[in-house]
Structure 1
Amino acid sequence: MVVVGGGLAGLALARRLADRHPGRVVVVESGPDAGRDHYRWVNDPERADELWLDPAVDPHFWQPYEPSDSGYRGIAGLRRRLGGRSLYWGGVVVPIESWALESGEWPAPVVRDLTTSWQGGSSLYETAAEEVRRWAGGGPTTAEPLLSFAGREFTEAPRAVREFAGEGRWRAYSPLDDWPHSVETLCDSHAVAVVASGGRVTGLLVERAGERQVISAPTIVLAAGTVENSRLVLQTLREIDDASPLQLTGLADKLAQGFAASFDPAAVPPSIRALAESGRLHLSRADGELRSSLFIQGHINPHGLLIVDCYCMGEQRPGDAGRVWCEPGPRLPWPTFVAGGLSSVDEQLVQDQRDALNYIHAELCRVSGTSGDALAFTDPFGSVDLGKRLAAGDAMAFPGLASTYSFPIGSEQHEAGTLPLGGALVDDDAKVRAVDGLYVTGPAVFPRTGAANPALTILALAARLAEQLVASEVPPVR
């Protein structure tokens, strides 16, 4: 069996498969094996921020597509190396909210497995959360409210993170930790195309060091990220049927924006001052009205001021505004293009988030006795100077200042939704309907993303697919 992509989804799937069928799984990764530690573990905070916000300095940053004027530019992109984004993510592990899972877009059997019971035991969410909790050294995956403020209850955000004491370094969970030797990894091997005959997978065409070869395999799982998965499926479907589409809609990222504001530490209530003392990220889970998680954290800046950073991360609804398409040519892989605009529903959510953030900022000013104007957001959505805005808090020299920011579409790097489970192209079990032996995993198969960070759902769906593939008794790669 071949797994295409060595990021969180592909590695989690391969690891589970290897536990059941040692020696029968191959992971194909476009990039090198360039070290298996998280970028926040091997770099000091300043260098890590640079790698995040200025991808030109990261040799592994990769945009395998041409962005349009409506998003997916700048810091939007993949990390082409073994481990992928599992070596870059923030570690937040929360499930997709019930209002998104139970809206009718997600297939009912998948929702049941995720939230109620899987194979007669605990749900997939419970199983995945317990696994990362153990990796992180214990501690709850949910917590009692630690901060009640502005009509919201905040808990410490559950994170699969280990910290390196005293240096501001930490790492988030990656399946590469204690990686099983039974899984063969082919790095620096770009997946050019799925090879199919008679409506069935026969292999994978890869390019390595300028040469191409076919890896024969009856089963291929695409876990290369939403855009690359989309390209590979579009190419395969067109090979089978000349009338198949060359475009997939439904591409959705998260809608994220927030503010940083300065306060006199002696003037704020103890509960707000504790944000800086703990250094922890706090979370108020999204409801079905705002469809956005609210995060808040604090620190003391070089001028001795308390900087409160508060942001929303909300659900972009899949629709026609977000698209991936290919232009066929004489040579594979086909050029791939991405667009990611806002629908009217998204624009309303952007405004609702700004209203919520303005209310929280006004309450912070009120309880601290600080005069402050209403937040001035960049309009339209998406700060072109995002890095500068995110760093503005440390330059604030007196109380009452505020800086806003919003992440351009694609730069939150949670893109999803082009190959939804139970849709026209992919069935409830993540199989591409028109091609026997071809499966997809990762956020591409999310029918809706909710406001939640995607990692816990990625891990849960990888576990589900692994068991389905094991049950089918797939023969080994030749």
Structure 2
Amino acid sequence: MSTFCVVGGGLAGLEFALHSALKGHRIVIYEAGPQLRTNHVHFDTRVFDGDEKKVHWTADEHWALGGISERLGGRSLCYHGVMLPLEEKALNSWPEIWQKRLKGPAGLYHQLQQEFTAKYPEMSRNQAVNLPLHHAPQAAVVGESAAFTSYSPLYQLEPLIRDGVITIERATISQVEKKSDGFYLVDAQGQTVNTTGFERCILSASALVNNKIITQSLARSTIAQVTDHYCIGVAVKVREGERIADYRHEMLWHGFSEHHDLNANIFVVERNNFDNGDRLLLLMAVMEQNPALSDYSELHCRYHEGKTTLEIQSKHSDAVIENYNQLASRIVDFASTQLGVRLSPLHDTAVEQSEAFFGASEGIDFEQALNALNETERTNIYTRFVFPYGAYEHESCTHPIGGHGDIALTDSLELTAMPGVYAIGPGAFPRLGIANPALTICSLSRWLASHL
């Protein structure tokens, strides 16, 4: 029985650990945060000390300083389960061998979609919707009293932990050292956490933290690319018309509309009506930082006197800013057209009336938008909300498959500069694409579990 170590207990790490253990390997998971939750974050709404986001980097004003949640389960209990494959345009920029692994009847996408469809009704639930929308496949279940939960490998670990096949240790890992008998991990206090060497080491922390660990392990500074999705939404209040569909839960979209000419998808849900009967719809546009239009932002991991610090320098070309501004207009036009009403901005500001939206709505969050609509008597209106660039938790492309230099991965997800060390998660993506990355994360993790 081989023993592997996994650094990070989010979706990528737990998915690898589960499927590697099922194939007969022993796994030790090192996670910085405790197990504060056992259910999906939008169902388990308790507030825990230590559940706050921690910031591990500095950045300019165009990259969010939202930080990282450190807890067992991590983002595997945060994401809402949309399971879309990468669109063809994005996947075509991946190495050909990975296109073959992911696509087609025998590909990982199809295998996982079939598995999730058998277990999670929301993957294929056929709901009549009064708009031309694609179904949004979600690996989720809505149970009694509208209790919502989505797929996480965390739920399946208990018997393997009980049998000693998987062990979970709480530690913040900062460095990987290779010795003659295997890999040893060093924590943030400089202490080696294992007494026996591991045969393989899998880095599955966030895309940013993986690079920090790699830099600290190599004892030299590195520069990598980094990107995230741009997300802009509108909350719409209208009085006329029939509901687009029955509302079932805040985490379930009624569907999405493809706007690939603007490198985006627009997700739509109609919430319960306001108390006075007015309708409330939410539209969220998720946009890729298309590498054909702009260089990705840069992640600088600076190694100095035994410590590594992170700095992000964001990049937005004029073409990407124009793409974003067009999308900000498109989402309102799309809502107006589909609802058959002319929507006006709630806030009659110069920004809303112009076509220069990029960065203009940084201060309007989701709850503020809903409260503003609830407090006004006006109808046929909208207000914007945003998740700032770098805050959507889809940080990607930092140690890409087929990349260059110390932080590149081989086609087998092995770190070029550190044989025997592998890196998974969205940091391994050569291109992020438009789709939510969850299905692709699961695919990479399961492939590596089979490969090793």
Quick check: TM above 0.5?
yes
Q: Is the 8 A contact 1:33 1:187 kept in 2?
A: no
Aligned to 1:444: 427
| 1:235-278 Cα deviation digits (max 9, x unpaired) | 233x3xx5xx52212x11111112111111xx21x3xx133545
Q: Is the 8 A contact 1:253 1:416 kept in 2?
A: yes
Aligned to 1:406: 386
Structure 1 residues 376-385 or 303-312, which shifts more? 376-385
Are 1:115 and 2:103 an aligned pair? yes
Q: Distance in 2 between matches of 1:165 and 1:453?
A: 27
Q: Is the 8 A contact 1:317 1:345 kept in 2?
A: no
SS, match of residue 336 in structure 2: helix
| Closer, same or farther: CA 155–418 of 1 in aligned 2, 3 Å | same
What value does the CA root-mean-square deviation take over the aligned residues?
Answer: 2.7
| 1:202-250 Cα deviation digits (max 9, x unpaired) | 321125xx5712432231111001000111122233x3xx5xx52212x
Q: Is the 8 A contact 1:31 1:187 kept in 2?
A: no
Q: Is the 8 A contact 1:341 1:409 kept in 2?
A: no
Paired residue type of 1:196: K
| Closer, same or farther: CA 287–353 of 1 in aligned 2, 3 Å | closer
Are 1:187 and 2:169 an aligned pair? yes
Task: Give the Å deviation of 1:144.
Answer: 8.2
Find 1:65's aligned residue among 57, 62, 67: 57
Aligned to 2:441: 458
| 1:339-390 Cα deviation digits (max 9, x unpaired) | 334233321320221232131133256x24x563595575425522324235
| Closer, same or farther: CA 295–36 of 1 in aligned 2, 3 Å | same
Aligned to 1:432: 415
Aligned to 2:222: 246
Task: Give the Å deviation of 1:398.
Answer: 3.1
1:289-328 alignment runs, 5 A limit: 289-299=261-271, 300-318=273-291, 320-328=295-303
| 1:58-107 Cα deviation digits (max 9, x unpaired) | 6342222233322122xx332211100111111111111111111xx200
Paired residue type of 2:333: Y
Structure 1 residues 287-296 or 385-394, which shifts more? 385-394
Task: Give the Å deviation of 1:139.
Answer: 5.5
SS, match of residue 187 in structure 1: strand
SS, match of residue 302 in structure 1: coil
Q: Distance in 2 between matches of 1:57 and 1:416?
A: 28
Aligned to 2:39: 37
| 1:303-349 Cα deviation digits (max 9, x unpaired) | 321011112101113565512222223344x1222233423332132
Q: Is the 8 A contact 1:201 1:220 kept in 2?
A: no
| Closer, same or farther: CA 57–402 of 1 in aligned 2, 3 Å | farther
Aligned to 1:275: 245
Q: Is the 8 A contact 2:14 2:153 kept in 1?
A: yes
Paired residue type of 1:9: A
SS, match of residue 230 in structure 2: strand
Are 1:422 and 2:392 an aligned pair? no
| Closer, same or farther: CA 371–436 of 1 in aligned 2, 3 Å | closer
Aligned to 2:344: 372
| Closer, same or farther: CA 282–79 of 1 in aligned 2, 3 Å | same
Paired residue type of 2:115: E
Are 1:219 and 2:195 an aligned pair? no
What is the number of equivalent residue pairs in this alignment? 427
Q: Distance in 2 between matches of 1:196 and 1:188?
A: 21
SS, match of residue 337 in structure 2: helix
Under a length normalisation based on structure 1, what TM-score does the superposition of the two structures give? 0.82
| 1:415-453 Cα deviation digits (max 9, x unpaired) | 101111111121111111121101110000111111100
Are 1:100 and 2:75 an aligned pair? no
Q: Distance in 2 between matches of 1:316 and 1:283?
A: 23
Structure 2 segments unaligned to the other structure (5+ residues)? none
Paired residue type of 1:128: L
Q: Is the 8 A contact 1:203 1:218 kept in 2?
A: no
Aligned to 1:363: 337
1:219-238 alignment runs, 5 A limit: 219-237=200-218
Aligned to 2:321: 347
Q: Distance in 1 between matches of 2:370 and 2:90?
A: 29
Are 1:17 and 2:20 an aligned pair? yes
Task: Give the Å deviation of 1:391.
Answer: 4.4
Q: Distance in 2 between matches of 1:97 and 1:285?
A: 13
Structure 1 segments unaligned to the other structure (5+ residues)? 470-478
Q: Distance in 2 between matches of 1:201 and 1:386?
A: 47
| Closer, same or farther: CA 88–394 of 1 in aligned 2, 3 Å | farther
Q: Distance in 2 between matches of 1:193 and 1:123?
A: 34
Structure 1 residues 316-325 or 341-350, which shifts more? 316-325
Paired residue type of 1:20: K
